Structure 1
């Protein structure tokens, strides 16, 4: 990929992010092109369709938040339990800054299939990380008897979701420290022998 393609893609992603964070209820490719100061043709040269653009946008936003480094930290944890605690820590620290984009996508994905596809891509990626952690806990002989890794991964995935964080911290008023402590206690009691 050439430097100008990278610059064009970056301009498009930043423009789309601005539109979404501004609270726009519908986001068209034309609106994104206008915001980026590009033609629609230039936009389609960089992204094949809106789903492709939205998937890249969520990955771009995750990159800006340091998710790649956080995922590496989770994978490098000394044990499966330490990796589980690192997932909870990640959500406690990074969810506040991610909330505006998550809220915007929550509205957008309900009316735009491309946004839904992108959101699902991100959730699938998060689920794969939870599966890896559950498998690691099981391989270390620490998974609760009678609990399979698939169910354990589902429990980690849903309990550490941005929706759960929003419900507990924003709506119920938990502090980040309370969220982290209580979720750790809950998941350890559910999953670990």
Structure 2
């Protein structure tokens, strides 16, 4: 990689990291000007790197994946031989990630009905998660571990709903559950409902 390209990538990452901090503090409706000021670059530099505000928000959520290594961790889960451990570890990894992205994710959810850029960024991220959950569920079916009353499509969509940010917000924010209780309950619920009962041991 040339020094010029490396410098450009560093600037791009600096913009995204500063934007993440700003959006976490002020919300996803922060303007391009505010983000540019926070990182000390021009508005034109942001447009050069990301095209528009929508491109910036999409890059922002993808940068979070890199910073917190969620994509790497989830892909590693798919390599676990035991299907029950695979599902258990995958759900744990995702739920460990949720509190880290919550400030930004929560605001994208709030804005997506009125802000096209926020909606596009959120849907882009959720589409990627749905694809990964479908891959996970397909692997369970291939191993004969998926309960017979589920097909891959329904199981992956159900899991996506149950472990989503909105459910986390309701349980932790509205019901006052601890993060640990929420994680344990959601994880054990997914495993108990999706895994073939003949294959499912008691899990803490």
TM-score (structure 1 length as normaliser): 0.88
Residues 1:21 and 2:24 aligned together: yes
Using the alignment, how far apart are the partners of 2:72 and 2:13 within structure 1?
20
1:140-187 Cα deviation digits (max 9, x unpaired) = 112222421000100111111111122223322333443333223322
> Which residue of the other structure, out of 93, 98, 108, is the alignment partner of 1:95?
98
Q: Is the 8 A contact 2:70 2:94 kept in 1?
A: no
Give 1:78 shift: 1.9
What pairs with 1:32-181 in structure 2 (closer than 5 Å)? 32-181=35-184
Moved more, 132-141 or 26-35: 26-35
Residues 28 and 108 in structure 2, CA contact (< 8 A), matched pair in contact too:
no
Structure 1: give runs of 5+ residues left out of the alignment.
Answer: none
Partner SS state of residue 22, structure 1: helix
Structure 1 stretch 73-82 or stretch 58-67: which is displaced more?
A: 73-82
Aligned-pair CA distance for 1:11: 2.5
Aligned length: 193
Alpha-carbon contact 2:92-2:187 (below 8 Å) kept: no
- From the superposition, tell whether residues 181 and 35 of structure 1 become closer, same or farther in structure 2 (CA, over 3 Å): closer
CA distance in 2, matches of 1:17, 1:180: 24
Query: Is the deviation greater in 90-99 or in 159-168?
Result: 90-99
Point out where structure 2 has 5 or more consecutive residues left out of the alignment. 197-204
CA distance in 2, matches of 1:191, 1:32: 43
Going from structure 1 to structure 2, the CA distance change for 1:13 and 1:154 (only over 3 Å counts) comes to same
Q: Distance in 1 between matches of 2:93 and 2:114?
A: 29
